[in-house]
Amino acid sequence: MARHRLNIGWGFLPLLFAATAILTFLVCYIIAVSLDHVIPFVPYVSDTGAYPPESCLFSQFLNLAAALGMVAIYIRYKSLKKLSVENSSRFQCLNTSSFVIGVLSAIGLSIVGNFQWTNQFQVHVLGAVMAFGFGTVYCWMQSYMTYKMYPRYNGLWIARLRVILALVVTLALISMFIAQLLFILLLLNSDPSDSILSGQYVSQDTIDWLDLPISISNNNHTATSYSVSHSNQSTPPGEFLSATIFEWIAGIINMVYFSTFTCEFVKISVRVTVINMSDPSQYIESAAKEQDATEIDDSIVMDVMC
């Protein structure tokens, strides 16, 4: 019986996921600014992928990032299934729940990429809520489980690091939400002649969806044509600037959090075995040995200090 094994380490996967998402945001931002599709001074992340051609890259690579994220979330879930910790049944219930929440977060990321706010605003907002909301919950659940895995399976420093990153993401999202509410209040109290209603910082589509009793005096935000005149730009309102900055912080730190899984993933491998099926009895014997080997490998893989 001919048998061949190929061991593939997965330490690269969390880094690849995080790098794909962050580079997508940055590349689309550079293209959008160069084509005058967004204000250069910290636009919303979604604005950098709202108009072609950058919207094409935004969709394509966020879909790729979402797929990578789902694979990584599944591997994380499977790698924790065989752990023996205190209150193991509760731990495994939490592991399963975090898997579902993580998948929903990845689906939300894909929705954000596929449904630009210029085309499907409500669906885009739903995707953003899923990506940010479920993503943050996933971070906290994984942080708690990392603490439960100490000291047998990982070090205390990685647990503390993940708590700090999860806290930063949470505070950034809360700050973004508050700043966005203040910006809406600013819109409601703005005079129609104010530069804030010139179409540089808010679109008529957004105003209509929020059902605000105001209108844009010179709306450049349309699904087919959008141009910002740099010479006519005013200083962004503080509320707007705060909301966009906190959104970028939340998005990037979320990716940084995910990249910390490299510590565990570098010890995880996928083993591919090719078996000659000419002798069925040998296959049955080999399958039994593979099961025993898998159980041994799992304990070795996870019994490491990160």
- The whole-chain average pLDDT of the chain stands at 79
- Between CA 256 and CA 213 the distance in angstroms is 40
Residue 297 has a pLDDT of: 42
- The CA-atom distances, in angstroms, between 227 and each of 35, 40, 219, 221 are 8, 12, 10, 8
Please state whether the peptide bond connecting residue 151 to the residue before it is cis, i.e. omega within 30 degrees of 0. Answer: yes
Q: Is the pLDDT confidence value at 223 over 50? A: no
Which tokens is 85 given?
């910790």
- Residue with tokens 């039994």, as numbered in its chain: 288
User: What average pLDDT score do residues 41-56 get?
Assistant: 89
Q: Is the pLDDT confidence value at 197 over 90? A: no
Write down the pTM of the prediction.
0.79
Q: Is the pLDDT confidence value at 52 over 70? A: yes
- Between CA 197 and CA 214 the distance in angstroms is 9
Which positions ≥6 away from 266 have C-beta within 8 Å? 9, 10, 11
Smallest Cα–Cα separation from 66: which of 258, 226, 260, 288? 258
In the DSSP assignment, the letter for residue 170 is: H
Smallest Cα–Cα separation from 111: which of 142, 137, 135? 135
Q: What are the pLDDT digits (tens) for 253-289?
A: 999 999 999 988 988 876 666 666 666 555 555 555 5
Which tokens is 28 given?
């689309």
Residue 22 has a pLDDT of: 95
Residue 221 has a pLDDT of: 43
Q: What are the pLDDT digits (tens) for 125-166?
A: 999 999 999 999 999 999 999 999 888 888 899 999 999 999
3-state secondary structure of 229: coil
Q: Is the pLDDT confidence value at 248 over 90? A: yes
Residue 217 has a pLDDT of: 47
AA identity, residue 133: G
Torsional sign, CA 183, 186, 191, 193: negative
DSSP state letters, 82-148:
T---TTHHHHHHHHHHHHHHHHHHHHHHHHHHHS-TTT-HHHHHHHHHIIIIIHHHHHHHHHHHHHH
User: What average pLDDT score do residues 56-81 get?
Assistant: 94
Q: What are the pLDDT digits (tens) for 75-132?
A: 999 989 877 676 688 889 999 999 999 999 999 999 999 998 888 888 999 999 999 9
